[in-house]
Amino acid sequence: MQYALVDGLRCEAVPGDRGLCPTCGAAMIAKCGPRRLHHWAHAGRRNCDPWWENETEWHRGWKNLFPAECREISHLAADGEIHRADIKTPTGIVIEVQHSAMTDAERQAREAFYGNLVWVIDGRGFRDNFDIYHLLPDPQADVAQDLVWVKASRPMQGTARGIFFRLSECRAEFPEEVVTKATLRGGFYHFIHEIEAEVRQSYRGHHQYDWVRPRRTWLDAACPVYIDFGDDRLVRLDTYDESGLRCIRLVAKRKFVHDVMVETDARAIATRFYPIGGDTEAFR
């Protein structure tokens, strides 16, 4: 833990210090070795939050992007269940920063407990298994309404460059049927170079991708999931349109940090554009 109560104040760990757990009131001792992240630990072996995990430099770095009053916020449910959110913003969004693997059961339990939750997961360990492919137009753009993209994958490099069908052509081929993006049949292959200018003009960060040997619990998450690969952009897992195509959206980390502090719904992150820090242009 980053904080304990020392003389009634939330304090970070310093060598030799002792405090109390802000969640359960148990005794805490400062762990401040030369090769470890300074932190607080319960004096006994038991941690009051069963969802606790060892904190890494990456984990601490994310928490430090937010004011101290937003970090390690305890939640008490009506039935007495207590958990400690990594980050909770003044607008009520909970951010869980996750480095280690997680079971479906624990993910579902956290999502049910917090509700207005967004995940940030450490993707550095599987970056080589995660390919980001061609641009996609904004799914709300006019050009996107007639396009049905072929799922891109690592073994099929042609799809990685961008192949699509036109919904209008499929409907013309089967005029007696109700053809939707989800029930597409027939049609002709088209390639992204045919509409490249339109795609770039309507681009809002969406891409096709392939995650080899994915951590499936994140694909099934009910709350938004952002992957941090260690650069200045996050990768949001998303569904592109009614075809069910899985896609990602690149979101500037700076934009994410800004939005979670002003939006009230985790799903609204990166859906609107604001000038940030005096810049004349909005950040995606």
Question: What confidence score (pLDDT) does residue 265 get?
Answer: 97
Distance separating alpha carbons of residues 125 and 229, to the nearest angstrom:
8
Question: What confidence score (pLDDT) does residue 47 get?
Answer: 64
Alpha helix (H) ranges present in 174-221? 196-201, 216-219
Question: What confidence score (pLDDT) does residue 279 get?
Answer: 39
Strand 130-137, strand 203-211: pairing: antiparallel
Confidence of residue 229 (pLDDT cuts 50, 70, 90): very high
Q: Strand pairing partners for 251?
A: 234
Helix (H) or strand (E) holding 113: helix 104-114
Phi, psi of 200 (to 5 degrees): -65, -35
The yes-or-no verdict on residue 201 having pLDDT over 80 is: yes
Question: What confidence score (pLDDT) does residue 161 get?
Answer: 93
3-state secondary structure of 205: strand
Residue keyed to tokens 């492919």:
133
Distance of CA 124 to the CA centre of its chain: 14
Distance separating alpha carbons of residues 52 and 99, to the nearest angstrom:
11
Per-residue model confidence as pLDDT tens digits over 203-216: 999 999 999 999 99
The yes-or-no verdict on residue 6 having pLDDT over 80 is: no
3-state secondary structure of 11: strand
3-state secondary structure of 124: helix
pLDDT, mean of residues 103-125: 95
pLDDT, mean of residues 12-25: 75
Per-residue model confidence as pLDDT tens digits over 140-165: 999 999 999 999 999 998 899 999 99
Question: What confidence score (pLDDT) does residue 18 get?
Answer: 77
Distance separating alpha carbons of residues 278 and 120, to the nearest angstrom:
27
Structure token pair of residue 123:
């993707």
Q: Which residues, including other chains, have CB under 8 Å from residue 239's CB and lie 6 or more apart?
A: 245, 246, 247
What is the amino acid identity at position 36? R
Mean pLDDT over all residues of the chain? 87
The DSSP secondary structure of 74-100, one letter per residue, reads EEE-TTS-EEEEEEE-TTS-EEEEE-S
Strand 163-166, strand 147-149: pairing: antiparallel
DSSP state of 155: T
User: What's the whole-model pTM score?
Assistant: 0.84
pLDDT over 90, % of the chain: 63
Ranges of beta strands (E only) in the chain are 4-6, 9-11, 18-20, 27-31, 39-42, 71-76, 82-88, 94-98, 117-122, 130-137, 147-149, 163-166, 190-191, 203-211, 225-228, 233-239, 246-252
Q: Which residues, including other chains, have CB under 8 Å from residue 81's CB and lie 6 or more apart?
A: 113
DSSP state of 12: -
Distance separating alpha carbons of residues 211 and 215, to the nearest angstrom:
9
CB 240 within 8 A of CB 139: yes
The yes-or-no verdict on residue 39 having pLDDT over 70 is: no
pLDDT, mean of residues 55-69: 90
